[in-house]
Amino acid sequence: MSPLNSWYPFPMDTDFSIYNLPFGIFKPGRASARAGMAVGEEIMDLTILQELGLFDGIFLQDPSVFYADALNDFIALGKETTSAIRLRVQQLLFLENEELKSHPERSKVFFKQNAVQMLLPVRIGDYTDFYSSEQHATNVGSMFRDPANALLPNWKHLPVGYHGRASSIVISGTALHRPKGQTKADDAATPTFGPSKQVDFELEMAFVIGKNSDLGEAISTGHAADSIFGFLLFNDWSARDLQKWEYVPLGPFLAKNFGSSVSPWLVTAEALEPFKVAGPKQEPEVLPYLQFSGLHHYDLNLSVSIAPKESAETVVCRSNYRHMYWNTVQQLAHHTVNGCNLRIGDLLASGTISGPEADSYGSMLELAWKGSKPLKLSDGSTRSFIHDHDTVVIRGWAEKEGMRVGFGEVRTEVLPAKD
């Protein structure tokens, strides 16, 4: 694919290139929330494009669908409509297209991203977190159990996951308080209560469900892609000391549900299509319902930075979404194989994405190896876990043959525990 020419002045190396055109929800000043699309450092207001008649020819049952505080109703129109809108905006930006470029009301369409408030792109009904990076599961298993048998017997037979909490998923820029809870030291007889001393990030990707399924309906790996609307960066905040004490036998609870952070721009599955790659060979062979054909991994660069208060950022992790053992269609097929129904706006997260190198691990737990190898930041301070007033920034972008499709960032400051 050769680079597309546009009359719009896209900045060099922007995540929000003409190949991307992700959807989001924004609020300009005191005006009501509406749907927009990121272009360079600006947003195109889809309500205005609609009002100017620039979507004429694309059937929208309810033309006010873009005046909304979430994309759920728009997504419900189906991929035929949502991709027609995206491709129409792309066409409006083509060099030779004058419809918007020469429109007398063109300036009404554009807003500076840094001058508006972003909202969560979808109303998230349910949230599921997987545990699908082999390196991550191996690291955690080695630290807490036995390096020789780091993976539990089920791990290579099914994508392990748990149901998380949707109410505490927040948009990038929302600060979170350090959680309080119970912890118990190994040599203590009883637990104590107080602020977590081991707040950690988890570098993850999440995909958003774009199609309702029925209770009792299993979605095959071959049909799963139809149900995936798009992707977000996801930080699954974790309190390791709370987690260690509480997780047996039912798994994560208060160590996880105090907050998870997502990026604002919902990058469509179509935009990521050119960056698909093969995943690892799965050995032993998986059961038939988890077998798949085609490419379902993504070559998507990921990074995590820590910025202490009033200090520069230090990149502490460089990973890639391709480092997954279980892919999205397997996760979706497994999630529904028992008849569990999915709804538009549900969010399925990958699990911590750790690569093979020590600087590609997707959590502080692994990067600083349970506190035994603290990381040095550029301001000279060290970290085993996240300190109060640290800001953690996750970024993600794919690049190939002059095309760049990125997510921007998800940025979260950790505040002191509430009194």
Q: How far is the CB of 202 from Mn ion (least distance, A)?
A: 4
Q: Is 232 helix (H, G, I), strand (E, B) or coil?
A: strand
Q: What is the per-residue DSSP string for 24-54?
A: EEEE-TTSPPEEEEEETTEEEEHHHHHHTTT
Q: In the chain, what is the straight-line distance between the N-terminal and C-terminal CA atoms, in Å?
A: 56
Cis peptide before 153 (omega within 30 of 0): no
Rounded Cα–Cα distance for residues 201 and 198 (Å):
10
User: Is there a contact between 58 and 50 (Cβ–Cβ < 8 Å)?
Assistant: no
Q: Check 103, 136, 296, 335 and give the catalytic one.
A: 136
Where do the DSSP E strands lie in 140-281? 161-163, 169-171, 176-177, 180-183, 192-195, 199-200, 203-209, 228-235, 238-239, 260-262, 267-268, 276-277
Residue 317 structure tokens: 């992790």
Provide CB contacts within 8 A for 301, sequence distance 6+.
Answer: 318, 320, 396, 397, 398, 399
Per-residue interface string for the shown chain with Mn ion, residues 82-121, x marking contact by CB under 5 A: ----------------------------------------
Tokens of 385: 């876990």
Which alpha helices (H) appear in 225-360, and where do they start and end? 240-246, 269-272, 328-336
Q: Output the smallest distance, CB 292 to Mn ion, in A.
A: 23
CB 161 within 8 A of CB 129: yes
Residue nearest to Mn ion (CB): 236
Q: Number of residues in contact with Mn ion, rule: CB under 5 A?
A: 3
Residue 15 or 236 having the CB closest to Mn ion: 236
Considering the complex, what minimum distance in angstroms separates the CB of residue 236 from Mn ion?
Answer: 4
Strand, helix or coil for residue 182: strand
Catalytic, 136? Answer yes
**Residue (202 or 241) nearer to Mn ion, CB:** 202
Q: Which C-beta is closer to Mn ion: that of 202 or that of 409?
A: 202
C-beta closer to Mn ion: residue 109 or 348: 348
Quick note: the x/- pattern for Mn ion over 225-254, rule CB under 5 A, is -----------x------------------
SS3 271: helix
Q: Is 366 in the site for Mn ion (CB under 5 A)?
A: no
Cβ distance to Mn ion smaller for residue 133 or 172? 133
- The interface region with Mn ion, picked from 65-73, 122-130, 224-232, 306-314 by CB under 5 A, is 122-130
Measured from the CB atom, the residue of 74 and 407 that comes closer to Mn ion is 407
Figure out which of the listed residues 15, 42, 45, 129 binds Mn ion, where binding follows CB under 5 A.
129
Q: Within positions 164 to 223, which residues make up the interface with Mn ion, using CB under 5 A?
A: 202
Query: Shortest gap between Cβ of 173 and Mn ion (angstroms)?
Result: 21
Closest separation between CB of residue 204 and Mn ion, Å? 6
In angstroms, give the least distance from the CB of 268 to Mn ion. Answer: 24
Q: Report, in angstroms and rounded to the nearest whole number, the Rg of the chain calculated over CA atoms.
A: 22
Task: Name the residues that contact Mn ion, by CB under 5 A.
Answer: 129, 202, 236
Residues with catalytic roles: 136
